[in-house]
Structure 1
Amino acid sequence: MTHQDHRYHQDQQDGRDGWDGRDPYRLGPPQAAAASVPGGGPDAAPRGDVLRMLLWTVVVLSATANMVLSFTGAAVALHLASGVVTVLAVGALVVRALRGRR
């Protein structure tokens, strides 16, 4: 029996249910947190998460484009452009990760 189970059963014996309306194991978004974020609904993602997802998408797409350009024998300028985009996106991800450690 875990500590939480013990408290629940103890509260049941005392005539209290111990439920305060918050369920930390609920799979849906928390009801109180959605109202406290200005401009954010229950499914709103933090701005940093969206940026990180977009950067990873750019990395994957530009690396894939570089690979496709290699197989098709495209011009060197296209390879360089794709490589520069990949390097810049990876660099931005590294900078964000290092700043997030502080």
Structure 2
Amino acid sequence: MDLARLPNDKKLQLCRWYFKVGCLLLPFVWAVNAIWFFKEAFMKPPYDEQKQIKKYVLMSAVGAIAWIAVFAIWITVFQLQRVSWGATGDALSFIVPLGRA
């Protein structure tokens, strides 16, 4: 979809919709929203709806970065501590590696 073809009110509506969908624990949608609407929010000449679009772009970016940080921390902790967790670590694993590294 070409954002240049949409009227400004439809851009705001679409940006808001992507933000709300991201609130359903879908951080990838927040990342897409932040990337897709970045130019519209910060590089285009000012227009009425731009202030709200900026707000949704910033909230989407912060939410996506926060989720990425949480995932990175979880992956690191899980990879380093899985063996010491015993049966619980094995139960959380999709593929149980044999032995210990």
- TM bucket (normalised to shorter chain) is 0.3 to 0.5
TM-score normalised to the size of structure 1?
0.39
Which has more helix, going by share of residues?
A: 2
Larger radius of gyration: 1
